[in-house]
Structure 1
Amino acid sequence: MTVLIVKNCAREGPGTLGEILRSNSIEQEIVEIERAEEIPDPTGYEALIVMGGPASANDTTKAMKQEIAAIQQVARADMPYLGICLGMQALVKACGGRVIRNPIKEVGWKDLHGKEFSLELTPAGQKDTIFKGLEATLPIFHLHGETVELTHDMQLLATGKHCRNQVVKAGNNAYGFQGHLELTASMLDTWLAEDDDLKQLSSEEVKRDHAAVREEYESNSKKVFTNFLRTAGIL
């Protein structure tokens, strides 16, 4: 079995999701859309996974048009889809929703008042198999300035204080997460060195915050990604 992974940015790879795929001997084909690589027909794979990046789903670049078209193809086929950050926003855009500016940028582990970012599962989220075995409140790492407006037939699975639409579901098999569940320690080091928004924060503090929740965070992410693969019929 092979899943297709689209990377919008070189530094934003599959992280813990990649670890789950490798440990279950699931092949992954990665397309570097930032390097002008073409997205193959996604219906030839078991699932389409789209990662984050600094672009906007509202962009009219060739790369974003190609990405939106691939997601629409997957949605029409009711195929398994998982979108992270930009990948979530692109899902909503592809399925008829809107991508707009969020009232604030959510960056790192905490808001401007020092309160930890978290996901609060909705009743629909607590019933959905993607959150099986998880608590109703989960810590989340953020790196975004936009949010989404859902269509009436999309489900909201988790909310946040400063950005309401945190986890969404479109159709039967397409999921989008605004936050970065895939985050690993090595990825965080790279992002702190390269991302302009994260450079505004204290890297030592961000690393301390990560260390405090790392075990729980990686356990949660691996449960979510395993649940997704099982729901998709890949495991």
Structure 2
Amino acid sequence: MRINVLQHASNEGPGTIRSWAEDHGHDMYIYHPNEFYKLPNINETDMLVILGGPMSANDDDDWIKAERKLIHEAIDKDIPIYGACFGSQQIAKALGYRIAPSPVKEVGWAPVYLKANIIDNFPKKLMALHWHGEMFEVPNQAKLLFSSDLLKNQGFVINHHIMGLQFHFEPMQTDLREIVVNDGEYACDNALNQSAADIINYPVPKENKKIMYQLLDYINQ
């Protein structure tokens, strides 16, 4: 299987999504559309992963609009899609739903709560990394998948093959360090009241890798 990844920030890579691909014998190709203005061919895509980034789905850049066209093509072909943070907002926006400033800026570690029982023996409460100031409306055809204490719309799943999460399960410890040492200033004045030092010193939960694998297995069934 060819997994095409859209990466929008050099410090926000695929993390355990890469591990999942390698462990399953899949080929991963990483594109940087905001840097090289290049997107994969949908006919060479068996799974589409859209990662986070500092930009907004409401921005008017041509590459952002082109990404949403690619998302539509993937939906039409029933190709599994996984979006994290900006990626989840791109999916929602592609489907015609609003992306707006979040009522709170969530940056740091905080629990999320499962709202849809789609996977057997899946934990009801998990610790996730939050790094966002905008939010999506959950599409009408979607199931609300996760909520947090501060924000209801934290994740959705559509027709078994499309999943968007506002937060991050994919970073490993090294990925966390890379995110924070390069973008730790974004943690200033956030609703979780965590500093960059608080965030980087928090041990990534060991279960998050297993959770990421379960979610990716689910949309590829």
Question: In the alignment, what sits opposite 2:36?
Answer: 36
Kindly state the Cα deviation for residue 59 of structure 1 after the two structures are TM-superposed. Answer: 1.0
Question: In the alignment, what sits opposite 1:113?
Answer: none
SS at match of 1:141: strand
SS at match of 2:30: strand
Alignment of 1:1-235 (within 5 A): 1-109=1-109, 117-122=110-115, 125-126=116-117, 128-129=118-119, 132-195=120-183, 196-198=185-187, 202-208=195-201, 210-211=202-203, 214=204, 217-233=205-221
Kindly state the Cα deviation for residue 5 of structure 1 after the two structures are TM-superposed. Answer: 0.5
Read off the aligned partner of 2:147 and give its amino acid letter.
T
Q: TM-score, normalised by structure 2?
A: 0.90
Q: Is the 8 A contact 2:169 2:211 kept in 1?
A: no
Deviating more after overlay: 52-61 vs 187-196: 187-196
Q: Is the 8 A contact 1:193 1:199 kept in 2?
A: no
Q: Is the 8 A contact 2:48 2:80 kept in 1?
A: yes
> Structure 2: where are the runs of 5+ without partners?
none
Read off the aligned partner of 2:46 and give its amino acid letter.
E
Q: How many residues align?
A: 216
CA distance in 1, matches of 2:18, 2:210: 10
Q: Is the 8 A contact 1:192 1:199 kept in 2?
A: no
Kindly state the Cα deviation for residue 9 of structure 1 after the two structures are TM-superposed. Answer: 1.2
Kindly state the Cα deviation for residue 46 of structure 1 after the two structures are TM-superposed. Answer: 1.4
| Higher helix proportion | 1
CA distance in 1, matches of 2:195, 2:114: 30
Kindly state the Cα deviation for residue 207 of structure 1 after the two structures are TM-superposed. Answer: 2.9
CA distance in 2, matches of 1:231, 1:144: 24
CA distance in 2, matches of 1:100, 1:5: 25
Read off the aligned partner of 1:176 and give its amino acid letter.
G
SS at match of 2:5: strand
Kindly state the Cα deviation for residue 60 of structure 1 after the two structures are TM-superposed. Answer: 1.1
Read off the aligned partner of 1:119 and give its amino acid letter.
V
Kindly state the Cα deviation for residue 187 of structure 1 after the two structures are TM-superposed. Answer: 1.6
